[in-house]
Amino acid sequence: MSDSTRTVGPKIIAIVNQKGGVGKTTTTINLGAALVEEGLKILVVDLDPQGNASTGLGIVPDDRDFTSYELLLENVDLHDVIQKTDTQDLFLIPATTDLSSADIELFSNEKRSFLLHDALRQKGMDDFGFDYILIDCPPSLSLLTVNAMVAAHSVLVPLQSEFFALEGLSQLMLTIREVRQTANPDLRIEGVVLTMYDARNNLSQQVEADARANLGDLVFTSIIPRNVRVSEAPSFALPVLAYDSSSKGAVAYRSLAQELLKKNTKIAA
Ligand SMILES: Nc1ncnc2c1ncn2[C@@H]1O[C@H](COP(=O)(O)OP(=O)(O)OP(=O)(O)O)[C@@H](O)[C@H]1O
Ligand SMILES: [Mg+2]
Question: pLDDT (tens digit, 9 = 90+) per residue, 144-189?
Answer: 999 999 999 999 999 999 888 888 899 999 999 999 999 999 999 9
**Order of strands, edge to edge, in the sheet holding 11-15?**
83-84, 90-93, 42-46, 132-136, 11-15, 154-160, 188-195
Percent of the chain residues past pLDDT 70, beyond the cut: 96
Q: How far apart are CA 62 and CA 192, in angstroms?
A: 34
Q: What domains are there in the chain, each with its CATH number? A: 11-268 (3.40.50.300)
The atom number, within ligand 1, closest to the CA of 27 reads 18
Query: What does the pLDDT read at residue 146?
Result: 96
Query: What does the pLDDT read at residue 75?
Result: 86
Query: What does the pLDDT read at residue 1?
Result: 42
pLDDT digits (tens, 9 = 90+) for 72-87: 999 899 999 999 999 9
Query: What does the pLDDT read at residue 235?
Result: 95
Measuring from atom 29 of ligand 1, which residue has the nearest CA?
Answer: 231
Q: For ligand 1, which residues put their CB under 6 angstroms from it?
A: 20-26, 48, 50, 52, 139, 195-196, 224, 226-227, 230-231, 234, 249
In the structure, what pLDDT confidence band is assigned to residue 267 with cuts at 50, 70 and 90?
low
